[in-house]
A and B are shown apart, each in its own frame.
Chain A
Amino acid sequence: MPCFSANFGNASSVHSFGQEAKVALEEARRQITAVINAEPSEIVFTSGGTEADNLAVKGTAQFFSGRKTHIVTSAVEHHAVLYACKYLEKNGFEVTYVPVDKFGLVSPDKVAQAIREETCLVSIMHANNEIGTINPIPEIAALSKDRGILFHTDAVQTLGKIPIDVKEMNIDMLSISGHKIYGPKGIGALYIRRGIQIEKIMHGGKHERDRRAGTENIPGAVGLGKAAEICSRSMEKDRVKLTELRDDLQRKISDILPEVHLNGHETKRLPGILNMSFPGAASDSLLLSLDLKGIAVSNGSACSSGTIEPSHVLKGLKLSKNLANSAIRFSLGKENTPEEIDVTVGVLQEIVSRLRGLKRGRN
């Protein structure tokens, strides 16, 4: 990558090396704006989705500090939003975590009911990373707008996968991340609608129009921009392919294994995410067994494995312990193939049967 060697200038520098780097940075910025229908001045590069979420939540809170001290979010947000909110709760703010329905969907009515005089921000994720459920963002954004409240959405899972138009959808702030769209890790961005003012959380130089200090991660930004462009271009094609692979996986699993359970919504979900429970088989044993056979899945728990608490998302669905402790997330990408689906189903059947058999034997 030329950014790591030949073009290593600092985008903030006056000299021509710096200017070249700046051009690359701005090109990346423009690529992102094209995907979400924003303006270049509205994009702030960050170190990832987590920092973008933190900037949106804490930046807004600090701007309204002392005047409007209430935030509305959902119970199944990514930890970056949740823990930023928990931090604010210890610092003079109140937060309402709106519960989700059994599919993981956030209801606009519940959001409206939670809003108060002192609410300064509504933050609801576009789609959930664990179960893939897609929230009715246009409705929720609209009702926030009607009440004059800033609306932020974590679109880390949706950028380049389903259409986003920040103007049409009335979105004020939006977080994205590189590594969820086949781009590099350690880079993300926050879209902030022109005219909106929030506090910084990274102080120092006046980078990113004085909204986020720190020498820009040029290689990261270039990678993020390119990734966004590529995804956007093949969005419909990818969506069709992934939907087919995912539905195939789900159907074959359901055909071949008894007592499996889908977590999330049947239709309002991301094309590439399938979250299912296999009662009778512990999710950490499933995970490790699958990995031993060369198949990588995840189960949303904090550490890499374990039978501790299941994820807060599964808790939010109010699943029984049986279902929550046996849930696995399959995350499909555009390079997965139908053959891989078949292999996975076969291996899964073997593993689940073995685990269920062992459990029966012990009881």
Chain B
Amino acid sequence: MEQNIKETVLVAMSGGVDSSVAAALLHERGYQVIGVTMNLWDYDRVGGNLNKDSGCCSVDTMDDARAVCHKLGVPHYMVNFREEFEAAVTDNFISEYMDGRTPNPCVRCNTYIKWGVLLQKAEELGADKIATGHYARTTFDEESGRYLLKQGKDGHKDQSYALWGIRQQGLERTLFPVGEFTKPEIRQIARNLGLRTAEKKESQEICFIPDNDYSRYLKKKRPELETHLQDGEILDEQDNLLGVHKGYPFYTIGQRKGVGIATGQPVYVTEIDAGNNRIKVGSNNDLLHSGLVAENVNWISIAALKEGIEIEAKIRYNSPGAHAWLQPKSNGNVEVRFKEPQRAVTSGQSVVFYQDDLVIGGGIIESSVKHQG
């Protein structure tokens, strides 16, 4: 960045320590920072207002972000994306569960809201770039002419898994100031700057289900869950009827707790058949998959997959990468074959392809291949 031209960057601030420090670092580096907190949902829409919080947005979140901006001497605004969030994230969340899949709403939010609507808003406000507090890194590769996405320096905190959906024109205008640091370093920076969010606890739940009660949320949004989907069948791997379930959307692949079937051995949900309102259970071995097919694939370090490549595939946020081979399919989907069978590959989850710390691309798990062994 040329020192005499001040670039304007819109920093998405959740009120947490990471985005607070992101704003502070950029401000220190001479960027013109605009702090923005997105209002994505309200209690009327999602229910679960246990603490009788303000009906609008989380007032605490806003206050913390605003206080940090005030301290830095930069403007702070709230932008209302409730309609867009509902359309792109929560509607999809519900329909995926109703289809018997397990969605990842944070990925959808990043792809369609942060690097979608928010990017547009940045442009409208005259900001050249956007920044977030994600532990990730982005660089431009001269040779390929592509913007790259890399894991954050802190292996424990890397959040690149949720960012696979960002397109080239998004990465081009993105800064990840926090990605070069470890979490302890970030907290220390926050302390040194006297930011009140320095010791703030991280939020673990899905933001729009503040009481963490997925069942309540799904039932609120799909009242028919209370009546139509009860008492579906639970079958074993040989299609023997073992019992009844509470409604297939309340289960996920690999789930053990709450299934309510006792066979003397631990049982896990191995399959969800939404069409017939059935779930299948089996042993741990029955959860092994030798491969999967990924759809809605977004390529980052390459323009497209022309031929097979070898990568590490992450099938869950907190799982280590698994060695695998990719093969392109004619319809744009990707076949993934694991070197070692992987446990509980779940449709609807994201699969992200890495080579070392570089994100090659990612997609949504459409289907998986059971391990024959």
User: Which residues of A are at the interface with B, using a C-beta cutoff of 8 A?
Assistant: 282, 284-285, 288-289, 291-292, 303-308, 354-355, 358, 362
Contact = CB atoms under 8 A, between A and B. Distances in A.
B80 A284 contact: yes
Interface secondary structure of A, over-half rule: helix
A303 B62 CA distance: 12
B126 A306 contact: no
B83 interface: yes
B82 interface: yes
Contacts of A288: 77, 79, 125
B124 A303 contact: no
Given A292-B75, A303-B39, A308 B125 contact: no
Nearest to A308: B80
Contacts of A304: 77-78
B79 A306 contact: yes
A305 B82 contact: no
A360 to B, nearest CB: 13
Contacts of A308: 80, 82-83
Nearest to A351: B126
A305 B57 CA distance: 12
Residue of B39, B120, B125 most packed against chain A (CB within 10 A): B125
Interface string B156-188: 000000000000000000000000000000000
A284 B79 contact: yes
B213 interface: no
B106 interface: no
B72 to A, nearest CB: 15
B195 interface: no
Nearest to A281: B124
Contacts, number: 47
Interface secondary structure of B, over-half rule: mixed
Given A292-B34, A354-B126, A305 B79 contact: yes
A291 B75 contact: yes
A358 B56 contact: no
The size bracket of the interface on B is: 10 to 19
B123 interface: yes
A355 B83 CA distance: 20
Nearest to B123: A358
Given A285-B121, A303-B78, A304-B77, 13 more contacts: A282-B124, A284-B80, A285-B125, A288-B125, A289-B124, A292-B34, A292-B125, A303-B56, A306-B78, A306-B79, A307-B80, A354-B126, A358-B124
B42 to A, nearest CB: 10
Nearest to B127: A292
A285 B126 CA distance: 10
Contact of B80 (A292, A305, A355, A362): A305
A289 B125 contact: yes
Contacts of B125: 285, 288-289, 292
7 contacts: A285-B121, A288-B77, A288-B79, A291-B75, A292-B126, A303-B39, A355-B124
